[in-house]
Structure 1
Amino acid sequence: MKKDIHPDYRPVVFRDPGAGFAFLTRSTVTSGKTVVWEDGNTYPVVDVDVSSASHPFYTGRNRVMDTAGRVERFNQRYGRS
């Protein structure tokens, strides 16, 4: 690999403020904000809109689309009679 062309790969905290969920991982993303983590060290923090704690697929709150009912309604309205 060439030297001095790759971004720094360092610990970063990703935080979902809506769900009150945060996790520490490694990333190349940059941020101007910092947070003191549970281990007492200060890390850059990135606020995300959706995480596994708030996404409907992972929380079980997702809606199931009734595609069969939609097709039947469409055929009743616009289908051949």
Structure 2
Amino acid sequence: MRHGIHPVSRPVVFRDRAAGFHLLTHSTLHSERTVEWEDGSTYPVVDVEISSASHPFYTGTSRVLDTAGRVERFQRRYGTTAAVRP
């Protein structure tokens, strides 16, 4: 690898305040705010809106959409149209 062209990677805490979830990992993001981690060290903290702890797909709270009903409702409302002429 060439030196001086890659961003600096450092330990950063990602915090999902809605779920109370914290994750310590490496990132190139920079933050002025810091937090004290479980090991007693201080790390920069980045607040995120959604994490694996609060995302509906991972928590099992996602809803299934009725796409077949939407297609039928569209066809009832607008009917079928003739094929597009070239």
Alpha-carbon distance, 1:74 to partner: 1.2
Highest CA radius of gyration, 1 or 2? 2
Counterpart secondary structure, 1:4: coil
TM-score by length of 1: 0.90
Cα RMSD after superposing both structures: 1.1
Q: Give deviations 1:25-65, integer Å, cap 9, x for gaps.
A: 01111000000001110000000011001111111111111
Aligned to 2:52: 52
Give the Cα–Cα distance (whole angstroms) in 2 for the partners of residues 78 and 5 of structure 1: 57
Give the Cα–Cα distance (whole angstroms) in 2 for the partners of residues 3 and 42 of structure 1: 28
Counterpart secondary structure, 2:26: strand
Aligned to 1:67: 67
Which 4+ runs in 1 deviate beyond 6 A? none
